[in-house]
A = this chain, B = another copy of it.
Amino acid sequence: MELSQLRTLIHVAELGSLSKAADRIGIAQPALSRQIRMLEEELSVRLFTRHGRGMVLTDKGREILEHATRVMTELEEIRATASDLDAPLRGRISIGFPPTVADILSLPLVAAFRRTHPQVELRLVGAYTGHLLDWLHRGEIDVAILYDPNSARSLRSEPLLLENLFLIGPPDSGLSGERSIPFKDLDGKRILLPSTRHGLRTIVEQCAVEAGIALHIAIEADSYATLKDLVRHGHGWTILPLSPIHDDIAAGRLAAAPLIDPAPVRQLVLSYPADRPVSRLTRFAGETIADIVADHVERKVWPGRLLGRGQVRTP
C-alpha cells in the first residue's frame, strides 16, 4: 500500500473516472488503472465496480475510502505540525448549529475568526439537527454542532456538552435559579413543549416516565419564541435550555428554575463528515467552538457539564 494509491482511490472515488482523475492529478490514466488494480490485489478486495462510463465504489471500497481520507488528514496534520502554520488560514467554511446554539456561539466565534484568521469567509447556518445532518452528508456544511444523533450515518463526532434543561414560567411563578424543582411537581401542570419529532420533547417525556408522572401537554409549538410568549402570558410552563431565556429573565419577563429528580439534559456533539478529509480550517473551527463552549460553561453562562477528551490539543 502506498500513499499515491490512496490518493488515487480518493480522487477516483470523487470523480467516478480514472480518466478524469488522471486529468486532475496530471498522471497518465494507465498508471492510475494499475495503481487501483495493485491496491485491489494487495487487499484482495474489489474497491470499484467498472462499467462502460466510469467506475463506482463498492461498499467495501467506501469503508476503505474513509480510512484513506483519515490518512490524508493525518498527513496534513504532519505537515502543519512541521511548519507550525501561524499564517492566517484562508478560504471558506460553513458551520451548522441548532438555532439556540447559534445564538450563543455566533458572536464569539466570529470574533475569534476575525482576530486570528480575518481572511476566512464564514457561513453560519442555523437549522435543526435533521437538516444539519443532511447538509453534512451532502458536503454543504463542513462541521456542525448537533444534538446527539446516535443513529447518524457515518460521521465523526466529539461530545461537547451535556446541556441542562430548565423549567420556564412567568415572572410571578416563583421560579428561581436558587431553588430546584423536583420533576414530580410538574404532575397536573399545564406544560407547553415542542412537538414529538423534536429531540427535546423526547428527553422531557423520558424524564416524566422516570419521575413516574404523566405530563399534561397543553400546547405544542416548535418555536422557542412562541413557547416563551405563551409562557409569559400565563398559558402554562415550558422546559427549555437556559440560553435562549437569559435576556427574558434579566428583563423580568420570565423565570426559570433547575429541574431535578431527574434532571433533564441533552448532549451536544461536534460532528464532521467521515468520508472527506477534514481541513485545517475545519479543525480550527471545531477547536474554537470547543473553547468557546468550555468558556461559557466555566463562566456558568451556559448551564451544563463539559464533556471532553483527555487528549492534549496543540495550541
Contact = CB atoms under 8 A, between A and B. Distances in A.
Interface in A48-74: 60, 63-64, 67-68, 70-71, 74
A78 B68 CA distance: 8
Interface string A1-37: 1110000000000000000000000000000000000
A74 B75 contact: no
Interface stretch (A154-162, A187-195, A219-227, A237-245): A154-162
A293 B198 CA distance: 28
Contacts of A307: 159, 267, 307
Interface in A272-315: 274, 305, 307-312, 314
A274 B81 CA distance: 15
Contacts of A308: 150, 159
A196 to B, nearest CB: 21
A236 B74 CA distance: 54
A92 interface: no
A199 interface: no
Considering residues A78, A149, A309, which has the most beta carbons from chain B within 10 angstroms of its beta carbon? A78
A308 B82 CA distance: 32
A100 interface: no
Given A67-B74, A71-B71, A71-B74, A269 B82 contact: no
Contacts of A1: 3, 75, 78-79
A67 B60 contact: no
B312 A44 contact: no
A166 B274 CA distance: 39
A256 to B, nearest CB: 16
A263 interface: yes
Interface in A138-185: 146, 148-150, 152-159, 162, 180
Please name the 9 residue pairs, one residue from A and one from B, whose CB atoms are nearest each other, closest first: A43-B82, A157-B310, A45-B82, A152-B310, A67-B78, A157-B309, A67-B74, A71-B74, A149-B310
